[in-house]
A and B are shown apart, each in its own frame.
Chain A
Amino acid sequence: DAKTTQPNSMESNEEEPVHLPCNHSTISGTDYIHWYRQLPSQGPEYVIHGLTSNVNNRMASLAIAEDRKSSTLILHRATLRDAAVYYCILRDPNAGGTSYGKLTFGQGTILTVHP
């Protein structure tokens, strides 16, 4: 599986934008970029995913570099409830065998939001 690299931790102030980076220099042409976040003692929560174009939804925006070797998750106005571990994961939906559909979690970025 292609790997991702994320900073161990980041901090932000409430109501400010947050840009969470992710490097994936070995991404393949069929890999989708998925972002999940996990609050303490909860299961991961789907945030957003994309392939080539930038994506927006009610939770966040995903900016994908033109060469797709990096991406940035953007939280437009951080709230205290956004404090979580954010995971950037590559997934190839066409991968066969036991790899099909798998999400491989790294260590993620711990986001701390200050009031």
Chain B
Amino acid sequence: GAVVSQHPSWVICKSGTSVKIECRSLDFQATTMFWYRQFPKQSLMLMATSNEGSKATYEQGVEKDKFLINHASLTLSTLTVTSAHPEDSSFYICSARAPPAGGNTDTQYFGPGTRLTVL
């Protein structure tokens, strides 16, 4: 299957700093990427949809000024958590939409996730 990477895999930062997380599709081009957040023992919650060359679409309740998304190329999307606070500590996961193969529908492939801890 297609490979999606994330960097860093974990990060610890002080309250008030900004953290950037990268998501890359390694062997395919992704016009659409998605950012999810997952708190302990909970399911994944979609934060935003990132489209290459255009503004991201945020889910209801997600602050676009706090979670900045940039999708500057077909293989890279970044999520920047600005002025992070302890309540932003979570597992952040990206996914990339791979184009259809063999007449079937397109499929999403997920990155390994980034564990953010804000002190």
A→B interface (CB under 8 Å): 32, 34, 36, 38, 41-46, 49, 51, 87, 91, 93, 98, 100-108
Contact = CB atoms under 8 A, between A and B. Distances in A.
Contact of B97 (A101, A104, A107, A108): A101
B105 A43 contact: no
Interface of B: 1, 4, 6, 32, 34, 36, 43-46, 49, 57, 59, 91, 93-95, 97, 104-113, 115
Nearest to A98: B57
B113 A104 contact: no
Given A49-B105, A49-B107, A98-B49, A44 B34 contact: no
A43 B49 contact: no
Interface of B: prevailing SS: strand
B93 A43 contact: yes
Contacts of A51: 105
Interface centre among B36, B43, B59, B111 (most CB of A within 10 A): B43
Contacts of B59: 98
Contacts, number: 63
Contacts of B93: 43-44
22 contacts: A38-B44, A41-B113, A41-B115, A42-B113, A43-B94, A43-B95, A43-B111, A43-B112, A46-B1, A93-B105, A93-B106, A98-B57, A101-B49, A101-B97, A101-B106, A102-B49, A103-B95, A103-B108, A105-B43, A105-B44, A107-B43, A108-B43
Interface of A: prevailing SS: loop
Nearest to B36: A105
A109 to B, nearest CB: 12
B34 A102 contact: yes
4 closest A-B pairs by beta carbon, nearest first, are A43-B110, A105-B44, A105-B43, A43-B113
A101 B111 contact: no
Contacts of B49: 98, 100-102
B112 A42 contact: yes
A44 B43 contact: no
A54 B34 CA distance: 28
